[in-house]
Chains A and B, each alone.
Chain A
């Protein structure tokens, strides 16, 4: 008897991407199972503006949610960007183990901050990609014109620790920036590099995961509360499953994208173990700076470190 409710969701990712196809399928299922009482309407490709504008529009009630990177939801809970801490994870095994322990806690914190969500989906590891020369060491990185996203205090602190003076550009300006040489080094997941056409410009990619990025479908709690509880359960069930699928799919897509990058002639650069140690030493300093600046909480940072320590000592035994 309750009337139909439409959840308007905005995202930067383009229509037709694997991510969107799965979300639309999920929305279709919700529509069917709630007999049309809950509907999703998606605004793709950034037509509602960047993540900042999307969040403003959620606050004022034009939109009910957004599919955004975790880093843009720090207004609701600063710790959702904990996985993006520099050089925390060495490989996907570590990611999977740590996420198994921390995902539900972060998801709950985000709910408490006012954003209903259905878990996290992997966007991938960000790697340093360079146009002008291979970057195997931190010293080499310092010689490059490194892009940094605007309004990203976490990356800013990290690059300060690496003693790099980065060049801030908005996402839309990165491709022309690479073309014109305003920047020559970017960090991106393999999928991202292909989707944004950055792969047409860069020639080297450093085989060292700099940070780990996740995406979230965040829905305003007030809007979600208007849905009938039974229907809420349906939305949660379906979208949680969809997000798990996207999570898996993106892992495959990123591996395929990595292969595609190699096929395009982009050279993989592997730092020596001594160079990796240097990277990690600076990353440690960066982590301390980020905590000190209050960008993430010391408690959650400690949980992450504990998890990693356990994992690594467990493997050595």
Chain B
């Protein structure tokens, strides 16, 4: 249990690190591009494409981290009126639903990446499209596993009678 805990913590730090790194690269690259544009009337041909791929990667890395502690936007209008035990059962149900959807998204975006890999097209020179897209199946798979774990824990918690 302790080793698992440490591994999870390490994983979280890696995720946080990648997320911050992506942002730093994004700011740096965007500023360099502005400098080239305004001072030298030129620009890196691949920079704008890379910046937009970075937006996708940041979005999905951010979403991975958000799934860690239920930080995704939701409506939650009903559970506040339920008892703690019932709320946990409901919570485990919605987590399982979320896991299912994430699994489907992972599966079908994997399919998309495979199709793109066969066609060998490039998002920008040196970056095959499939590589830029590969974050999608990975991110949704991780989110699916997280929601599965959340759901399992919530269900176990509810069985134990709503106490943490």
Instruction: Assess the B42–A56 pair: CB atoms within 8 A.
Output: no
Q: In the complex, A61→B37 CA distance in Å?
A: 40
If the complex has contacts A153-B125, A165-B40, are A60 and B115 also in contact, measured as CB distance less than 8 A? yes
Closest A residue to B115 by beta carbon equals: A59
Please tell me if B116 contacts chain A, counting CB pairs below 8 Å.
yes
10 residue pairs from A and B, CB less than 8 Å apart: A56-B112, A145-B41, A150-B48, A165-B40, A167-B37, A167-B41, A167-B43, A168-B48, A168-B49, A169-B48
List 6 additional A-B contacts (Cβ < 8 Å) besides A165-B41, A167-B42. A56-B115, A59-B119, A60-B111, A148-B45, A166-B42, A169-B48
Q: Which of B40, B41, B112, B123 interacts with A151 by CB under 8 Å?
A: B123
Closest B residue to A170 by beta carbon equals: B48
Please tell me if B94 contacts chain A, counting CB pairs below 8 Å.
no
Q: In the complex, A169→B37 CA distance in Å?
A: 12
Interface size on B, as a range, is 10 to 19
Closest 4 A-B residue pairs measured CB to CB? A165-B42, A167-B43, A145-B41, A168-B48
Q: In the complex, A144→B37 CA distance in Å?
A: 11
Interface size on A, as a range, is 10 to 19
Instruction: Assess the A165–B43 pair: CB atoms within 8 A.
Output: yes
Instruction: Assess the A150–B49 pair: CB atoms within 8 A.
Output: yes
Min CB gap B123→A, angstroms: 7
Encode contact with A along B10-43: 1 for CB under 8 Å, 0 otherwise. 0000000000000000000000000001001111
A144 proximity list for chain B (CB < 8 A) = 41
Encode contact with A along B34-74: 1 for CB under 8 Å, 0 otherwise. 00010011110100110000000000000000000000000
Encode contact with A along B110-123: 1 for CB under 8 Å, 0 otherwise. 01100110010111
Q: In the complex, A145→B36 CA distance in Å?
A: 11
Min CB gap B104→A, angstroms: 15
A168 proximity list for chain B (CB < 8 A) = 43, 45, 48-49
Instruction: Assess the A56–B48 pair: CB atoms within 8 A.
Output: no
Q: In the complex, A150→B115 CA distance in Å?
A: 22
Q: In the complex, A183→B116 CA distance in Å?
A: 32
B123 proximity list for chain A (CB < 8 A) = 151
Most A C-beta atoms less than 10 A away, residue of B43, B45, B119: B45
Please tell me if A269 contacts chain B, counting CB pairs below 8 Å.
no
Please tell me if A202 contacts chain B, counting CB pairs below 8 Å.
no
Closest B residue to A159 by beta carbon equals: B45
Encode contact with A along B88-102: 1 for CB under 8 Å, 0 otherwise. 000000000000000
Closest A residue to B47 by beta carbon equals: A168
A148 proximity list for chain B (CB < 8 A) = 45
Please tell me if A285 contacts chain B, counting CB pairs below 8 Å.
no
Instruction: Assess the B112–A156 pair: CB atoms within 8 A.
Output: no
Encode contact with B along A137-158: 1 for CB under 8 Å, 0 otherwise. 0000000110010110100100
Please tell me if B107 contacts chain A, counting CB pairs below 8 Å.
no
Q: Which of A59, A145, A151 interacts with B49 by CB under 8 Å?
A: A151
